[in-house]
Amino acid sequence: MHTVVVGTSGVTASDVLAVARGGARVELAGEAVAALGAAREIVEALAAKPDPVYGVSTGFGALATRHISRELRAQLQRNIVRSHAAGMGPRVEREVVRALMFLRLKTVCSGHTGVRPEVAQTMADILNAGITPVVHEYGSLGCSGDLAPLSHCALTLMGEGDAEGPDGEVRPAGELLAAHGIAPVELREKEGLALLNGTDGMLGMLVMALADLDLLYKSADVTAALSLEGLLGTDKVLAPELHAIRPHPGQGAAAANMLAVLKGSGLTGHHQDDAPRVQDAYSVRCAPQVAGAGRDTIAHARVVAERELASAVDNPVVLPDGRVESNGNFHGAPVAYVLDFLAIAVADLASIAERRTDRLLDKNRSHGLPPFLADDAGVDSGLMIAQYTQAALVSELKRLAVPASADSIPSSAMQEDHVSMGWSAARKLRTAVDNLTRVLAVELYAATRAIELREGLAPAPASQAVIDAVRAAGVQGAGPDRFLAPDLAAADAFVRGGELVAAVEKVTGPLQ
């Protein structure tokens, strides 16, 4: 099994995906163990002094003014975890929780948190055992980190609360730890706080969304090209020299992908035939501009994610010169903003795909296709309601595009008076990515049927490869009305699993 080694300088997006989705094992680098030990010595030296130090010998948040005596400090650390594990609502997905735990471990291993090496090792052991704490949907404001979600993970570390075992069964965490030979952790000064103060949940969801969107933006270029063929559009608007004079990188990549798919098509260039048109509609002609803008947004979001992956987010932090300083690095604004930016881009990409689908189904705008691509219009409804479903998804995506990061609700008796809502931005982006996949699946379904109905005209080799592959995957072609939901589900799985892009790349080579 693949192993990810965690050092002091952060991790990569590939590491996160390997642990969260691939079940990779986690090991601590020697440098991380050394850094953990050195930082812990600093914390213990401060803990021995009479002067109060935030997070070491004081309360937290609005209660930070109270100095805590030595005999109460272990109880203080237990109490912060128990009291902050206050999440509610549905369970969060296993991959999100694994990303959350792994990214917290990444910061712990930086040597800036003051956590003992044995605590970090236990975190790794829990990941390696396939134990997943039960984390709930609601509880994070994205400031002071993802407090409630991380607290539920820390609760498992203490052998308390509930967790899911590798068999998928939810059991008391203490039982699961015992079954895997893992001793619960007795938290000491600062450790409870250090386990809770991070942007790890929102960052993990950002990393996974970026991976998903890489695939979906390529998929969108393919479905846009198929729709262009189905509508007998022109590929002249995709010429590299046109995009070179407006040099947005994403736009050029999208146009190049569409052009690669359409190479050798007998369906393009018929816009001057029986019903001549000077230009294709915006949803066809401007596909690279819209998809390209989304690609450039993804590129910006990736820069933010990479910076965050290299960060040590905690409060207070242990500095190399021995100081333990309070800071505001736990504020989720940098991550929250790009999560919201991506939700906007996703909504717009879905919106333009739905407009192309509607055009394929409208006999007044489809340039010779039957109404709703029906076999016997009137007797058959064709794909009429498939477009309704697509429209409902797009409408939901527009609501999900309303930014979470523009909101703030003060908390902790006005001590934490401005929060990022980054966790909420991440949760709605996950739904948006899911729904974009469905929208593209409907466009794929309509466009492939439209191409097949253009009798006597041969599609591009790459388009034909898609049609062959999607039919082999159980998505049926043109014909009388039938139970449509299974076809749409099969098309969704075809896009979601990467088979659409794979079918094209067998002909075109790698897409951009």
Q: Which of 54, 138, 217, 388 is catalytic?
A: 54
Q: Residue 147 — pLDDT band, cuts 50, 70, 90?
A: very high
Instruction: Write the CA distances from 425 to 214, 254, 337, integer angstroms.
Output: 19, 26, 8
Specify the long-range contacts of residues 488-495, CB closer than 8 Å, at least 24 apart: 488/386, 488/389, 488/438, 488/441, 488/442, 488/445, 491/441, 491/442, 491/444, 491/445, 492/437, 492/438, 492/441, 494/441, 494/444, 494/469, 494/470, 495/216, 495/219, 495/437, 495/440, 495/441, 495/444
What CA–CA distance (Å, rounded) separates 290 from 345?
8
Q: H-type helices in 9-93, by residue range?
A: 13-20, 30-47, 73-84
Provide the pairing of β-strand 170-172 with 136-138.
Answer: unpaired
- The pLDDT > 70 percentage for the chain reads 97
Q: Residue 413 — pLDDT band, cuts 50, 70, 90?
A: confident
Angle at CA of residue 358, ends 430 and 489, nearest 5°: 45
Distance from the Cα of residue 25 to its chain's centroid:
21
Answer yes or no: 388 catalytic: no
**pTM above 0.85?**
yes
Handedness of CA 3, 6, 9, 13 (dihedral sign): positive
For 263-322, the pLDDT digits (tens) are: 999 999 877 776 677 789 999 999 999 999 999 999 999 999 999 999 999 988 999 898
Question: Which one, of 486, 114, 511, 479, lies nearest residue 315 by Cα?
Answer: 114
pLDDT above 90 (res 69): no
Q: H-type helices in 231-272, by residue range?
A: 240-244, 249-262
- pLDDT given at position 269: 85
Q: Residue 60 — pLDDT band, cuts 50, 70, 90?
A: low
What CA–CA distance (Å, rounded) separates 25 from 503?
32
What CA–CA distance (Å, rounded) separates 339 from 433?
11
- The pLDDT > 90 percentage for the chain reads 85
154 close to 196: Cβ distance less than 8 angstroms? yes
Angle at CA of residue 231, ends 241 and 441, nearest 5°: 95
What CA–CA distance (Å, rounded) separates 98 from 43?
28
Q: H-type helices in 48-116, by residue range?
A: 73-84, 94-108
Q: Residue 61 — pLDDT band, cuts 50, 70, 90?
A: low
Q: Residue 170 — pLDDT band, cuts 50, 70, 90?
A: very high
- pLDDT given at position 434: 98
For 493-502, the pLDDT digits (tens) are: 999 999 999 9
H/E element, 296: helix 287-309
Residue length, the chain?
Answer: 512
H/E element, 167: none
Instruction: Write the CA distances from 133 to 54, 157, 334, 400, 509, integer angstroms.
Output: 28, 9, 27, 27, 42
